[in-house]
Structure 1
Amino acid sequence: MEAIHLESLGTIMNVSMKQDTTQRIHSWDHFRDAIIFLVFIWHCASIYGSRTRNRWFFSDQETGILFDIFVFASELFLMPLLFYISGHFAVASIEKRGAGSFLADKARRLLIPFVFGVALLIPINFYLNRRAQGSISPGYFRYWIGTYFAQDIGPAHLWFLYVLFFFCAVYAALWAAHRWLAQGKSSLFDVPSEPRPFFLLVFGLLTAMAMTVAMRAAGYASWAHVFGFPLFAYQPSRCALYVFYFFLGVYGAMRGWTWANGSRVHVAAWASLLGCASVGLMVFRARFGAHVEGSLWLILCNAILHAFATLGALGAFATGFRLWCNRPFPLTRLFTANSYGIYIVHQPILVWLQYLLLGIRISAYLKFVIVFAVAFPLSLLASHFVLRRLPVLRNVL
């Protein structure tokens, strides 16, 4: 099987970067799997935070403060790190395939699942949203044919796929231009290196500046639509981070970064940066709230805390997994093979379970455990035995 890497989050999910032709860097598999797993938990938890439930498809009366903390803190780094990993693996693929073949492969592996999910999976989320609000009578098929495509269509969690495809298209154009200007010379550096603290410090400051500009123009967590079309939604302030992290992944792969120069002290330092910046941002947002967007200095402080929390997470995850998890784990093999399918299919399954638990007066923590314990194996089974056997997705996932 050809080495189709994580740049597509597709077979993204099945192949690792290689240090040479014989040695596999397993830490990249586990790094990727951990982020996908945390995204799954994030979606399970969002409905049960008192502050986060209002951003979900519907609200549950039962809440817990730990869900607010987890959702807030993990939201700072989950998607940027997924874009980082995607950018890292894009380099090996485009060097092997060339720009045209690379982009065609990305279109197949990203856009086909996107269209499939938006047409057949995401409608379940919005249907249950309307049912929870009592604004629609029973009858899913009638809703799907009429109301969904006319009024409710949206990407939900699949926005990642078309944003990643756009980044891949930009990268392919830049790569092709470099090849033309350099007369076919490879973009890879001859001597591998590792990330340096000063470089990462400058990178963190640049991402903070980019977030400041985006927040000044569009707010901290607001969503926008491409040409006003609701199917293509994005968050301007977060996309500033995503662009930087995708191309940091590209640059790191070109330089041969493996994060192998870290130690336990480095992991502790990166984790401390993540923890301090996350807590600082929580306190900051609790103190200033909506007033942040009205002051340039408050926006800058917000952006710096957010940017360095994300950077701390990158250092902690990349160094920690390289240090302790650079070996195969047989127990995670099935998850690794299905992680892309799980990403595609999991949300309607867990939203359905959350809907079934509405109105049941039990602890939010118990509801979370039920949703996770049922939705996770169902998502794994749905990916392995359903999605991967469908003709339209068989050669994509």
Structure 2
Amino acid sequence: MERHFGMDWLRIGAFAILILYHVGMVFTPWNFHVKTAQPVEWLSAAMLISNPWRLTLLFVVSGYASRALFAKSDGVRGFFASRTARLLIPLAFGVVAMVPPQTWVELATQHGYGQDFGHFLLFDYFRFTSIDGVGVPTWNHLWFVGYLWTYTAVLALLLLIPRPQTLQHWFDRAFGGWRALVLPALYLVLSQVVIFHRWSDSQDVIHDGVAHLAYFPAFLFGFGLARSRPVMAGLVASWKPAAAIAIASYAFGASLELLYPGNQVPPEWLSTPMLVAHQLQSWSAVAALIGIAERYLNHDAAIRPTLTEAVFPFYLIHQTIIVLVEYWLQPLGLGAGGEFFVLVVATIAGCWAFYLIGREVSWLRPLIGLRRRARPATAPRHDDSPMVAGDTWRRRRDRAQPDPA
């Protein structure tokens, strides 16, 4: 498989938006681990620009990347072992080392918890219970990693089942052309609105079945898309109508958010139209973004490899930085604008520091989701035998030749 730079840029952009989204959560009336004293009610409408589709896009892109990784792996076992190491080790490290400050700040600022962080970490965090309704230990924003590993495990099992050689062809036929936009949108409306009426995720991998009905098919769609020219061509051809549907759906949802700000509840008869608009925006935005990525972004840049590698470490640490910085800012009285500016700058700087330091420390690399560095090649053994000497001379000669590319 050729590397698709457009999908790399989508992944980078999606995680960048996620970081800004979590900064915004500090200021909206929605529940979060730390809240400002100066909420901005209209910000909820702005958050709806990405709220419906950000996770769906991440699962599609993850499925796409999984196909590329599977193509380079030593069979299903090698693929699953590699993904397990790259996902579960950082997840475990995050639950133990990165998430506890978030939970302590939430308990201290919103639930009256009176102990310091050291006491909390040593005596309360690993009690496997709940403190004033907050479960400990927990994974908070790292639930995405747990879901992604679960979907990878199911995918690995599916790949072990004998399957027809024409399975990719069936995918191409099913979702080629306009169907790449229409069929997934109809499926989401049917499964998430008509049948189950889903408003939110529980972020509990065992009891979040309705969310799995949305996210796991998105992951599988990305896996199939990675080898499907007809489906990709259909997304390119339909990105403009997809963008129009996404904008119209957002306008409807944002209007209701502004009409009923904060904790005000819209009339019951608006419940179903709101959910329909949410799901239509969810898929149409993803379809439009993939079409744009294929059409306009499928080219490389010098910074792309670094950003591609940095995305996962950024994701692991960003929310802890946001929560801690806001906790320290609260007594300063900077106002919403000042807090937002400091949060954005501090989060970006902290994420870069976490990545740049972590990538240089060999034992930290797997803990933050990076591959172990290859060991340097052993120096060639000096030998006077004709075969080795001849090979050495040929290697020197070959290195002296100009690169045929």
**TM, length-normalised to structure 2:** 0.78
> 2:193 matched to 1:212?
yes
Q: Within 5 A, what are the aligned runs for 1:77-156?
A: 77-97=53-73, 98-133=75-110, 135-137=112-114, 139-150=116-127, 151=130, 152-156=136-140
d(CA) in 1 for partners of 2:195, 2:344 = 35
d(CA) in 2 for partners of 1:248, 1:327 = 23
Q: Residue 379 of structure 2 corresponds to which residue in structure 1?
A: none
Shift of 1:312: 1.8
d(CA) in 2 for partners of 1:29, 1:222 = 26
Q: How large is the RMSD of aligned CA atoms in angstroms?
A: 3.0
Q: CA contact under 8 A between 1:207 and 1:244: conserved in structure 2? A: no
1:102 alignment partner AA = F
Q: CA contact under 8 A between 1:221 and 1:237: conserved in structure 2? A: no
d(CA) in 2 for partners of 1:388, 1:90 = 26
Q: Residue 14 of structure 1 corresponds to which residue in structure 2?
A: none
Where structure 2 has 5 or more consecutive residues not aligned to the other structure, the ranges are: 131-135, 371-405
Shift of 1:105: 1.5
Deviations 1:105-158 (A, max 9, x none): 221111111100000100010111223247334532221121112243211110
Pair 1:191–1:222, CA change in 2 (3 A): closer
Q: Residue 357 of structure 1 corresponds to which residue in structure 2?
A: 329
Q: Residue 171 of structure 1 corresponds to which residue in structure 2?
A: 155
Task: State which structure, 1 or 2, has the greater radius of gyration over its C-alpha atoms.
Answer: 2
Q: Residue 5 of structure 1 corresponds to which residue in structure 2?
A: none
Q: 2:228 aligns with which of 249, 255, 278?
A: 255
> 2:40 matched to 1:68?
no
Where structure 1 has 5 or more consecutive residues not aligned to the other structure, the ranges are: 1-17, 228-233
Shift of 1:323: 2.4
Pair 1:181–1:36, CA change in 2 (3 A): closer
Q: Match of 1:34, SS?
A: helix
Which one is further off, 80-89 or 322-331?
Answer: 322-331
Q: Residue 33 of structure 2 corresponds to which residue in structure 1?
A: 57
Q: Residue 181 of structure 2 corresponds to which residue in structure 1?
A: 200
Q: Within 5 A, what are the aligned runs for 1:1-397?
A: 18-19=1-2, 24-49=3-28, 51-52=29-30, 55-97=31-73, 98-133=75-110, 135-137=112-114, 139-150=116-127, 151=130, 152-177=136-161, 180-182=162-164, 185=165, 187-189=167-169, 195-212=176-193, 215-216=196-197, 219-221=198-200, 223=202, 225=204, 235-256=208-229, 259=232, 266-283=238-255, 289=265, 292=268, 300-386=272-358, 389=361, 391=363, 393-394=365-366, 396-397=369-370
1:336 alignment partner AA = T
Shift of 1:95: 4.0
Pair 1:266–1:128, CA change in 2 (3 A): same
**TM, length-normalised to structure 1:** 0.79
Q: Which structure: greater helix fraction?
A: 1
Pair 1:143–1:268, CA change in 2 (3 A): same
d(CA) in 1 for partners of 2:194, 2:362 = 44
2:219 alignment partner AA = F
Shift of 1:308: 1.2
d(CA) in 1 for partners of 2:242, 2:35 = 35
Pair 1:191–1:119, CA change in 2 (3 A): closer
Shift of 1:391: 1.4
Q: CA contact under 8 A between 1:224 and 1:236: conserved in structure 2? A: no
d(CA) in 1 for partners of 2:144, 2:103 = 18
How many residue pairs match? The answer is 356
Which one is further off, 247-256 or 129-138?
Answer: 129-138
